[in-house]
Structure 1
Amino acid sequence: MLYPLSTLALAPVLMGQGHYVRRVTPRLPEPEGERQGSVGEGPELRLLILGDSAAAGVGVSNQQDALAGQLVRELATDHCVHWSLLAETGRTVADVLAAINAAPEEHYDVVLVSVGVNDVTGRTSSRQWLAFLNELSDRLINAIGAKRVLFTAIPPMHLFPALPQPLRWYLGMRARQLNELMEGLCNSRASRGKSLEYLSVSFPLEPGFMASDGFHPGQDAYRVWAAHSAAAIRRLA
């Protein structure tokens, strides 16, 4: 109830601050570097990293320093990792679903998904959020054979330095709501034998952990995310 009431009460302020943030926040490019490959020795692990600008590595200059590069290096110490990155700036959960539906069919053991920030800013409804997450989960498990799908929690937008108040509070509140829905979906489907896991990562939002735009992860944040993800994947393996 608080979210729709806040939307109505604060609409003029939120719209003004939203336009201001879009105007003054630098648009960082996606990093250069490989988006697929094979590396390491040991049991084979087929990994797909899927999602939005954070999955794509915005905030660093090379994929080696982004989530994909750091996660693959972690896993390659004890696996032969065949990996692919399918991510793009601005994607919502609906866009991610469309991208995986349009991609050549491949099979993966584990899929790591980063999605939600653009659904928060784009005001995806709760009903749409759950419907698209369910459809995406079905696609990843049934069509590409993923044994495990890890959904990364939306980061704490109420702490993003690029956002002024009350916009920061408002978007943070919505991010927490969508996270609760995502976690509930993962827990519900896991209890019915579906291979979903909600991955909550504690990012210390300190200098060095955020990119220069105050909105995306920096190299150190990607390192923490990669370490959490690798630990979860190893538990499954």
Structure 2
Amino acid sequence: MFLKISTLVLIPALIIQGHQVKKNILRLAEPDGSREGVVGAGKALSVLILGDSAAAGVGVKMQEQALLGSVLRELMTDYEVYYKLEAKTGHTSVDVIGCVNSMLPQHFDVIITSVGVNDITKLTSPKNWISKQKQLYAQINQKFTPHLIVATGVPPMHMFPALPNPLAWLFGQYAQAMNQALALFVEQQNNMQWIEYDLNKFHRLNLSMAEDGFHPSNEIYTLWGKQVTDKIQQMF
């Protein structure tokens, strides 16, 4: 109720600031590089990355610098990794569900997800968002039969340099509520792990975001990938 009331009260400011952000924010392209292939040597492991612009690697120039590249670097010395990246700038939960539906059934040992920021910018309620997450992961399990799903939490958007207050504050409230619901859901699943997108930790390490003030930098992608692969290596 607090979030709903806050949203209604701030609508005039949100409209003005949202227009300014869209007008002024630097628009970065998705990075170049292979989105499907096989690398490494060792135990066979199949990995699928699904989601939004952060999953796609926006903020860096090449996939080798993005989440995909970070994950592959960590895994390729011990595993022969078949990888596939299905992510696109602007994708909401509904879009990612549509992406999953459009793919052919195929087993993946590990699936990594990143989705939520674009739902927040559309002011999707945390209740509706977690309902879509449950639908997404049910479809993922049915179509891809993964042994492990690593769900990345929604970034704390109140810390995005590109966003002014009160827009940043409100988006941060949405992110916090969504993460609480996601963490509770993941705890109830046998094949899921949750990773917090901890910008406070990144700041303590003197790591900045990408030049647009909205996406991860190479250094953040590297740490994010290490968090993901720690979860993978604990299981496989």
Which residue is equivalent to 1:209? Answer: 208
Task: Tell me the SS of whatever aligns to 1:49.
Answer: strand
Which residue is equivalent to 1:101? Answer: 101
Q: For this pair of structures, how many residues does the alignment match?
A: 233
Q: Is the contact between residue 126 and residue 174 of structure 2 (CA under 8 Å) also seen in structure 1?
A: no
TM-score by length of 2: 0.95
Equivalent residues in 2 for 1:162-177 (5 A)?
A: 162-177=162-177
| Partners of 1:126 and 1:172 in 2: CA distance | 12
Which residue is equivalent to 1:145? Answer: 145
Q: Which runs of 5+ in 1 are unaligned?
A: none
| Partners of 2:123 and 2:225 in 1: CA distance | 28
Is 2:226 the counterpart of 1:227?
A: yes
- 1:83-138: per-residue Cα shift (whole Å, max 9, x none)? 00000000011110100110122210010000000011112233321222112111
| Aligned residue type for 1:196 | M
Identity of matched residues, %: 40
Is 2:235 the counterpart of 1:236?
A: yes
Q: Is the contact between residue 154 and residue 197 of structure 2 (CA under 8 Å) also seen in structure 1?
A: no
| Aligned residue type for 1:200 | E
RMSD, aligned α-carbons? 1.3
| Partners of 1:141 and 1:8 in 2: CA distance | 37
- 1:31-75: per-residue Cα shift (whole Å, max 9, x none)? 000001111111111000110000000000000100001111111
| Partners of 1:147 and 1:55 in 2: CA distance | 20
TM-score by length of 1: 0.95
Task: Tell me the SS of whatever aligns to 2:49.
Answer: strand
Task: Tell me the SS of whatever aligns to 2:227.
Answer: helix
Which residue is equivalent to 2:49? Answer: 49
Task: Tell me the SS of whatever aligns to 1:37.
Answer: strand
Q: Which runs of 5+ in 2 are unaligned?
A: none
